[in-house]
A and B are shown apart, each in its own frame.
Chain A
Amino acid sequence: MKESKIQTYRFRTNLLLILFLSILVLVLGRFFYLQIIQGENLKELREQNINAFEYIYPKRGRILSRDGVVLAEDRKIFSLAIDIEQKPSGESMKVLSELFPEKINLIDLKEKVSNSLRYRRSEIILEKIAQEDLAKYLVRGSDLRGFSVIEGYEREYNAHPSIFHVLGHMGYINSTDTKYFSPRIENYDAKLWRKVGKSGIERVYEKQLQGEHGKKYFQRNARGDRRVTTDVSPFQEGEELFISIDYQAQKLAYELMDERRGSVVVIDLNDFSIPVAISTPSISANDLRDISSAQYQDLLNDPSRPLFNRAFMGLYPPASTIKPLLTVFALNNGYTDWDETIFDDGFFRFEEEERVFNAWREGGHGLTDLKKALVESSNPFFMNLSIRYEKDLFVEFLKSSSFGSKLCEDCYPHQFSPLIDDNWKYKNFGKELYKGDFINLGVGQGYMLTTPLHLSLISGILANKGNYQLPFMVTKKSNTLNLAENLTEDDWKKLNDALVDVIYSPNGTGYRINAGGLMLAGKSGTAQVVDINSREEYDDVRSNELLRDHAIFIGYAPYDKPRYSIAVIVENGESGGRVAGPIAKKVLEELLDDI
């Protein structure tokens, strides 16, 4: 019995000892794995634990006009934040709230501080401190431990409303922005950006303007307390961007519009850059920066649509201003020549459909040839021409005049003038184009719609004898397009003469512009308000004034050696020659004065 007890004891103790040694070997194996095999990896993880970095937000690039005026730049601002390394004491919170009684509430401040300390996040108490407040703070600085002034940047725009639509604005990034920028900017990391360009140049050139973040490397402990800053790589400021806008002319154009709705677009025919592109009414770009959502809604609901960029987005019937372009079409395809005459009695009778179209002047223009039809703007002449148009050739011509395609890569948002063909009509009316449609199209009414930018380009095409390039503000896209190979030098000269006579002959519709020495050539138009892009939204606010015709003018100067082409639209301005023309004259004078 005794012996068996001893044996059991020895056996079991040995068993336990073997168990102990087995576990010990297992442990040793585990440590071999962790320290020898995984050692380097785990050491790397330790370095990641300790060494962290934070981003330094970059300064966004400036935007300047071609005449050197700063249109947008990042301005340094100071904000007051909670310093989580030095916890703010109750005393310093009290002092701070007494220092800025109307801006800081002690109870709110206490809550902010406790939240900030709990989540180890340096919260901002006062954003954008004014100079005098900053001075007030700095004087009491020693009593205010636990708070610190941090630097940041804020976009500051030239306050003039004329530049808002072209420049666009910045706003807090959202998923739409991420979707927009991801394919356009390499390795786009949406998390790094707070505000991004929402429209205009700010959006199109986000990549160039945004700059690159700097990095501040530091060592931190497990609680995230910063210990030592080990290295700093400074941010890279965004590129400085010169845009083709001529600030003086832009400003003048806006002021000439004098609170009327409309748009002026000028194209520099040297390179097809855009020195003027305004849309009225507008707002100062700074107004959108700190706006509340209610105020933003008000702006969106404003019937005059100040946020809508008419220059690149507004669609207007070109009316008579399309006649010179269609003259090019008719001559190119041999539908008429400079000698053909018709008798204009103020009506056009379309016999096939037994319809009668009234022209704008009662009694008509009498015996009319192509030149007279242009100078005095005879509708019957062009209606008579238009029934000869062949559908395919017409659509082809519109296409080569950039209907239905994007005109300008750096205009954002951008709308193209619709290409009126069978597809378009099917989509909108369920029928194909028929002859009668061409009678309206032939005088720039009916379905025909163009943007002011496109009208200005059409004017440029005429001035440049059918050769043209796509307009731009920053990046030139140089491939020359041509739309009328069959026109002779003589044809172009006669067309030019006709457009000069519009302005300088007493019969001309633009004679009252009194263009004087400007050497202006052009064509006026008066568009019936049948349909504009935003018709539905206008419906409920339509008054008599809003039913008035749109005044349109296109032109170029100087006519012997054209430098600038222009399009002016004054919504409900009634007379292209009398209302839109003088604006074009003054803007072109300003631009040509600089040369």
Chain B
Amino acid sequence: MIFNLRNTIILFSLVAIILMGSMTIYSVTSIDVNYFLRFLLINIIVILAVALIFNQINLNRILSFGWILFIGNILLVLSVEIFGNEINGSKRWLDFGFLSLQPSEFMKITFALFVIQYLRFYSFQFTRFRTLFLLAVLFLSALPIIIQPDLGTGLVYILMGLMFLFICGVNRIYFIGMSVFAVLLSPIIYSFGLTSYQKGRITSWFSSDQNLSEKWNILQSEISIGSGGLAGEGFLNSKQNEFNFLPEADTDFIFSIYAEQFGFIGVLLILIMLACFIGLTTLLSMTEKRLTSDLSPYYIGTYCTLVIGFSFLLNILMVSGMIPVVGLPLPFFTKGGSSLLCFSIMLGLIFTSRGFLR
């Protein structure tokens, strides 16, 4: 591993984000210090372990299992319908005793692996058929997620999948076409049941007894964020959390609690570190002299970096009321095995593809 300034900044930013994430989780869920240490430890161990494992395995070997992993993942998503735990009216978790996993989270990764394996076979030569085939696979594989029902994860999966195809070089005509199509079609999709479906899902998500509306959640989230002011209320001083006014404070809405505790300065810091991590990692790949005939590691690496970056931003856009509430985890903040494992794997893939640790 080369410890130049850039790599040091990248690693420092990443560690800082993970540390802040763990601290915020701790402040929301428990006052027990042991719990905090355990959580931090598990977080770091899992990330390091996954990163190391993936680093040891040759990326090419992983990629050769691409389609098997992808089909296996789809089967797992489908099996949730049969074996899954139903939580608040939505089946998306598989219970493994020590860990409950949400297989749909991993679709983002396995789809990318599948695409790479497929394109490699054809030396990344796109034909209309191959492009349409990949798009069809993307949209069809999103269906089992959407019917779980988990519209948020499904939509993010499609968006990220499209982003990956974009990185891989699919002709821009398709993206322009799809954009036009989406704009024209959106009123029809909107009026045909999506709203009531979405509403029903959101209310079933957040309400135990009370009739909480989406609006109320967003208001409470904005109240938490705004209460932080410039400097924040201080660590462990979130009143919105103490008095339970913010629903889902330990999962989707955790960033609001972070903002209440650390204020605008804290938000600024974490966004700067995010920009450093994402920006520097992405730029790295482009300035690298070793861009060789096989671009697939760079596709994968850039993709994983941007998925982490955009997931982060989408979640923050959601909690600050700029996009509708769709259940999106915040990388390294959200308590939950699936997202932790998923983002750890992505880190591993980033490191593997970049050869940081070599």
Residues of A within 8 A of B (CB): 2, 5-6, 8-10, 12-14, 16-17, 20-21, 23-24, 26-28, 30-32, 34-36, 38-43, 45-46, 49-50, 118, 219-223, 227
A-contact 0/1 string along B231-257, CB 8 Å cutoff: 000000001101111010000000000
Residues of A within 8 A of B263 (CB): 35
Q: Are A13 and B264 in contact (CB under 8 A)?
A: no
Q: Does B342 contact A (CB under 8 A)?
A: no
Known contacts: A5-B169, A49-B243. The answer to whether A20 contacts B225 by CB under 8 A is no
Residues of B within 8 A of A17 (CB): 278-279, 282-283, 306
- Per the bound structure, the CA–CA distance linking A244 and B224 in Å amounts to 61
Q: In this complex, what residue of B is CB-closest to A22? A: B313
Q: Are A27 and B271 in contact (CB under 8 A)?
A: yes
Known contacts: A6-B291, A27-B320. The answer to whether A35 contacts B279 by CB under 8 A is no
Q: Are B322 and A222 in contact (CB under 8 A)?
A: no
Known contacts: A2-B293, A39-B227, A42-B227. The answer to whether A13 contacts B275 by CB under 8 A is no
Known contacts: A27-B313, A50-B239. The answer to whether A13 contacts B222 by CB under 8 A is no
Residues of B within 8 A of A32 (CB): 264
Known contacts: A16-B167, A221-B243. The answer to whether A39 contacts B317 by CB under 8 A is no
Q: Are A9 and B298 in contact (CB under 8 A)?
A: yes
Known contacts: A23-B317, A27-B316. The answer to whether A43 contacts B271 by CB under 8 A is no
The smallest beta-carbon distance between A157 and chain B, in angstroms, is 43
The smallest beta-carbon distance between B105 and chain A, in angstroms, is 21
Q: In this complex, what residue of A is CB-closest to B216? A: A222
Residues of B within 8 A of A16 (CB): 163, 166-167, 282, 302, 306
Contact of B240 among A8, A28, A46 (CB under 8 A): A46
Q: Are A30 and B227 in contact (CB under 8 A)?
A: no
Q: In this complex, what residue of B is CB-closest to A6? A: B291
- Per the bound structure, the CA–CA distance linking A21 and B309 in Å amounts to 10
Known contacts: A27-B320, A223-B210. The answer to whether A35 contacts B313 by CB under 8 A is no
Known contacts: A16-B167, A43-B226. The answer to whether A35 contacts B267 by CB under 8 A is yes
Residues of A within 8 A of B313 (CB): 20, 23-24, 27
Known contacts: A39-B227, A50-B239. The answer to whether A31 contacts B275 by CB under 8 A is no
Q: Does B67 contact A (CB under 8 A)?
A: no
Q: Are A35 and B230 in contact (CB under 8 A)?
A: yes
- Per the bound structure, the CA–CA distance linking A12 and B285 in Å amounts to 13
Contact of B245 among A8, A10, A26, A221 (CB under 8 A): A221
Q: Does B299 contact A (CB under 8 A)?
A: yes
Listed by A's residue number, 28 A-B pairs whose Cβ atoms lie within 8 Å are: A2-B293, A5-B169, A5-B295, A8-B169, A12-B169, A16-B167, A17-B283, A20-B279, A20-B310, A23-B310, A28-B267, A31-B267, A32-B264, A34-B226, A35-B226, A35-B228, A35-B230, A35-B263, A35-B264, A42-B223, A45-B219, A46-B223, A46-B224, A49-B240, A49-B245, A219-B243, A221-B245, A223-B210
- Per the bound structure, the CA–CA distance linking A30 and B317 in Å amounts to 9
Q: In this complex, what residue of A is CB-closest to B246? A: A222
Q: Does B63 contact A (CB under 8 A)?
A: no
Residues of B within 8 A of A2 (CB): 293
Beyond A10-B286, A35-B263, A46-B245, 13 additional pairs, beta carbon < 8 A: A5-B295, A13-B286, A13-B302, A16-B302, A21-B275, A23-B310, A23-B313, A24-B271, A27-B320, A45-B223, A46-B226, A50-B245, A227-B243
Known contacts: A46-B240, A223-B210. The answer to whether A36 contacts B245 by CB under 8 A is no
Q: In this complex, what residue of B is CB-closest to A28? A: B271
Residues of A within 8 A of B74 (CB): none
Q: Does B209 contact A (CB under 8 A)?
A: yes
Residues of A within 8 A of B245 (CB): 46, 49-50, 221-222
Q: Does B112 contact A (CB under 8 A)?
A: no
Q: Are A222 and B267 in contact (CB under 8 A)?
A: no
The smallest beta-carbon distance between B106 and chain A, in angstroms, is 22
Q: Does B259 contact A (CB under 8 A)?
A: yes
Which secondary structure dominates chain B's binding surface? helix
- Per the bound structure, the CA–CA distance linking A189 and B263 in Å amounts to 40
Q: In this complex, what residue of A is CB-closest to B171? A: A8
The smallest beta-carbon distance between B18 and chain A, in angstroms, is 19
Residues of B within 8 A of A31 (CB): 225, 259, 264, 267-268, 320
- Per the bound structure, the CA–CA distance linking A21 and B247 in Å amounts to 29
The smallest beta-carbon distance between A290 and chain B, in angstroms, is 35
The smallest beta-carbon distance between B245 and chain A, in angstroms, is 5
Q: Are B226 and A41 in contact (CB under 8 A)?
A: yes
Q: Does B229 contact A (CB under 8 A)?
A: yes
Residues of B within 8 A of A45 (CB): 219, 223, 226
A-contact 0/1 string along B196-232, CB 8 Å cutoff: 0000000000000110000000011011111111100
The smallest beta-carbon distance between B215 and chain A, in angstroms, is 14
| Those 8 A-B pairs whose CB atoms lie nearest each other, nearest first | A42-B226, A221-B243, A39-B229, A35-B264, A222-B244, A221-B244, A43-B227, A222-B245
The smallest beta-carbon distance between B279 and chain A, in angstroms, is 6
Residues of A within 8 A of B227 (CB): 39, 42-43, 46
The smallest beta-carbon distance between B90 and chain A, in angstroms, is 22
- Per the bound structure, the CA–CA distance linking A39 and B232 in Å amounts to 10
Residues of B within 8 A of A28 (CB): 267-268, 271
Q: Are B229 and A43 in contact (CB under 8 A)?
A: yes
Known contacts: A34-B226, A39-B227, A39-B228. The answer to whether A24 contacts B274 by CB under 8 A is yes
Q: In this complex, what residue of B is CB-closest to A37? A: B226
The smallest beta-carbon distance between B306 and chain A, in angstroms, is 6
Residues of B within 8 A of A21 (CB): 275, 279
Residues of B within 8 A of A6 (CB): 291, 295
Q: Are B286 and A14 in contact (CB under 8 A)?
A: yes
The smallest beta-carbon distance between A569 and chain B, in angstroms, is 62
The smallest beta-carbon distance between B327 and chain A, in angstroms, is 19
Q: In this complex, what residue of A is CB-closest to B278? A: A20
The smallest beta-carbon distance between A8 and chain B, in angstroms, is 5
Interface residues of B in 293-309 (CB under 8 A from A): 293, 295, 298-299, 302, 306, 309
The smallest beta-carbon distance between B275 and chain A, in angstroms, is 6
The smallest beta-carbon distance between B346 and chain A, in angstroms, is 15
The smallest beta-carbon distance between B240 and chain A, in angstroms, is 6
Known contacts: A42-B225, A118-B209. The answer to whether A36 contacts B230 by CB under 8 A is yes
- Per the bound structure, the CA–CA distance linking A393 and B322 in Å amounts to 82
A-contact 0/1 string along B162-175, CB 8 Å cutoff: 01001101000000
- Per the bound structure, the CA–CA distance linking A8 and B124 in Å amounts to 13
The smallest beta-carbon distance between A2 and chain B, in angstroms, is 6
Q: Are B282 and A13 in contact (CB under 8 A)?
A: yes
Q: Are B282 and A46 in contact (CB under 8 A)?
A: no
Residues of B within 8 A of A46 (CB): 223-224, 226-227, 239-240, 245
Known contacts: A20-B309, A28-B268, A46-B239. The answer to whether A36 contacts B229 by CB under 8 A is yes
Chain A CB within 10 Å, residue with most, of B227, B295, B298, B299: B227
Q: Are A35 and B243 in contact (CB under 8 A)?
A: no
Residues of A within 8 A of B229 (CB): 35-36, 39-40, 43
